[in-house]
Structure 1
Amino acid sequence: MKLVLDDDQRGLRDAVRSFLGAASPLPKVREGYDPGVYARFNGELGASGLIVPEEHGGAGAGFAELAVLLEETGAALLPGPFLATVFATIALTRMPPDKELLGGVAEGRTVATLALPPSQAVAARVRGEGAAVTGTLERVLGGAEASVLLVPARAEDGTEDGAEDGAEDGVVMTAVDLTGPGVTRTPLETLDLTRGQAGVTLDGARGRVLGPAPDVADLLCVALAAEQLGVMRAALDAIVAYAKVRVAFGRYIGSYQGVKHRLADMHAKLEQAESIVRYAAWAADEAPDELPGAAALAQAYVGRACFEVARDHLLLHGGIGFTWEHDAHLYYKRAKADEVLLGPPRVHRARLARLLEL
């Protein structure tokens, strides 16, 4: 097991941090999704193609590298559909290769998203590699910005087309063109102002069958935990810096025990979270038998710890932290939205307990 970044991973971290610091600083984050920044991020750094195989135009990296990248996008609160595209890419790399989609994602031309579990499979009339997809998805991450939606679909009328595609339960993964006919998207009002969601209604929408629907829930948990680690680190760095300069009653607030002890607790949570995320990323790459437990642990611990650090970061700023003008609420809202994105921590704790036979 390897919990320390190597030289290449540190180089990746520094490059992503430098780019986002210049192209997407916090004042710009408030403006929301900028397709220009997204295009540069994927074009100049190849971010969206990081885990895409080299033969399809990507870097062919593993989850250890993906975790490094997502930690930095989390710290920068990068707005837009990047995490949604990462989720979709994870699913794509676990299915028979689709050169068109993988190439588009790797080049940054295609913004994709994935119907997140526990979404039920929608209905589809499957004809060969084509499908007419019908159903309603209440919440789709990045659904308003994405051009392609990956969604599990079950063949209608008891047809066996799904089984012929290698899916034991008749459920196949379809790639739906969200820009085509039969698609209605309704942007949702969300807690996290930096990352949108949309309700998506499909009425015979045009799609393609990619193959059996893979089980990628554990891998999504690892990817999300990496982003949460970045949110934690940035929130802690911000409040430590503030505690060093804010004066109250003639003393820097960082000199008060009530603040020092809280900061120490936050730092301890961050250190534990980093070890958990590094372990989970290693398991995703090297130890698939350990991945279910590592993924459940990541969301059971990191999800809640991220929110607690973001909450205390806001509280320790005092009155200014509660204002709309301060950035503390951006971290708070991202942390809470991430905490429940793949199910609340209690769901993952229960799964971890089952895996450990407790």
Structure 2
Amino acid sequence: MKTTLSPGQQALQEQLEEFLDEELTPLVRRMADRSPHADTEDNPDIRAMIHQALTDLGLSAGLGRESWAIAAEQLGDVLYQGTLLDTAAAAELVSHTAAGGARDELLAAVAEGTRIALAARDTGTGTTADPAPLTVGPDGNTVTGSRSFVGFVPEADQLLVIGRAGGTVRAALVRPDAPGVTVRRHEELGRGELYAVGFDGAPVDTWLETDAGTTLAEAWRAVLDGARVRQAAYLVGLGQGALDLAVSYAKSRKQFGKPLGHQQVIALRLADLTARLDAVRLVVRAAAWEADRPAGAPRLEAAQALAMAAETARKIAAETMQVHGAYGMTEDSDAQLFYRRAAVESLRLGSPAELRSEVAPLLKDRLTGRGHSQPA
């Protein structure tokens, strides 16, 4: 893999750094915090404006996975919350569908700022890699089922519902305000915008169908690999943001007349976390590079990268809380916010335990010489 950024990737990174500056970053970090003590009245409008601005910077359909990994890392650093990463996955799946006017219209809509939320998993049934059951109505134009942990549903223009119907993976676009759709927000640790969604004969706007020779299950598998690489990069960024916060606090907070960072125990812990995070960043970048290769089949790499990034982000967030002490648990501190977000984001596309269960047979195949053979 290459270890330097291309001119285009360097330009994208610089544009994002300029946009997500010191003035905007604190706002972005708090814009999805549903604390009972926070003012969240204008947050949906703020998220919509930020989504549009990021789309205008080029974070939409057609961006390579290496470039997306660079962008997602910066989004994780500022704890971005919104539909952008889901929309990127939806656009990838749309790009796998049969060529024609419907596909072109959908991709054009995404490029202009249409927001799509993924609805693939139900509580207790299936995993992200194995979508939950979905019942298609007799007329073929409605769906029935339930999905949990769907992000930012009230702000999405469409829900991309993935499910198994009659043993076949199907994908439908459904409006969140359509008849038969019920939405309930979860009260969860991250205090964010995750929802349980029910579909009871909800009308389908568009069914996504693939070209001959490619099944939707195969297309979804490829899209999920890309989504996992982006989520892993997001978690690397989240870990970096938390680590920077811990280092800054250790430099400024004094104990017994000296900064906390002068204590050998704390200094060594922060150095260890820095080394771990740098290693995981390389693993994630390698997975993104593999995903962008013409013959790339990054199922193993994507699952490994996400499992490592999830565990590392949670560890760094927990250590950051410890460095901050009791202050880290207060509403004024971002340490508790990184901790909350890490707890939720590390499970979004599969828990580390689920990912390891996927990795084990794939790694065995790789070691026994069966190469990149990765059935859907």
Report the TM-score range of the alignment, normalised by the length of the smaller protein: 0.7 to 0.9
Q: Secondary structure at the match of 2:333?
A: coil
- For the pair 1:260 / 2:267, whether they are aligned, the reply is yes
> Among 177, 185, 188, which residue is 1:187 paired with?
185
Bigger shift: 260-269 or 97-106?
97-106
Amino acid at match of 2:11: G
Q: Is the 8 A contact 1:315 1:321 kept in 2?
A: yes
Amino acid at match of 1:185: V
Q: After the TM superposition, which residues 56-205 of structure 1 pair with which residues of structure 2 at under 5 Å, given as runs?
A: 60-97=62-99, 98-116=103-121, 117=128, 118-125=130-137, 131-154=141-164, 169-193=167-191, 195-205=192-202
- For the pair 1:354 / 2:364, whether they are aligned, the reply is no
Bigger shift: 251-260 or 216-225?
216-225
**1:20: Cα distance to partner?**
2.5
Amino acid at match of 2:181: V
Q: Taking structure 2 as the reference length, what is the TM-score of the superposition?
A: 0.82
Q: Taking structure 1 as the reference length, what is the TM-score of the superposition?
A: 0.86
**1:46: Cα distance to partner?**
2.4
In the aligned structure 2, how far is the partner of 1:28 from the partner of 1:171? 36
Q: Percent identity?
A: 33
In the aligned structure 2, how far is the partner of 1:242 from the partner of 1:253? 8
Partner of 1:311: 318
- For the pair 1:2 / 2:2, whether they are aligned, the reply is yes
In the aligned structure 1, how far is the partner of 2:163 from the partner of 2:137? 9
Residues 188 and 323 of structure 1, relative CA distance in 2, 3 Å threshold: same
Partner of 1:57: none
Residues 173 and 114 of structure 1, relative CA distance in 2, 3 Å threshold: same
Unaligned runs of 5+ in 2: 33-39, 122-127, 211-215, 368-376
Residues 241 and 139 of structure 1, relative CA distance in 2, 3 Å threshold: closer
Q: Is the 8 A contact 1:225 1:303 kept in 2?
A: yes
Q: Is the 8 A contact 2:131 2:164 kept in 1?
A: no
In the aligned structure 1, how far is the partner of 2:57 from the partner of 2:138? 29
**1:202: Cα distance to partner?**
0.9
Bigger shift: 287-296 or 335-344?
287-296
Say how many residue pairs are matched.
336
Residues 285 and 148 of structure 1, relative CA distance in 2, 3 Å threshold: same
Aligned-residue Cα RMSD (Å) equals 2.4
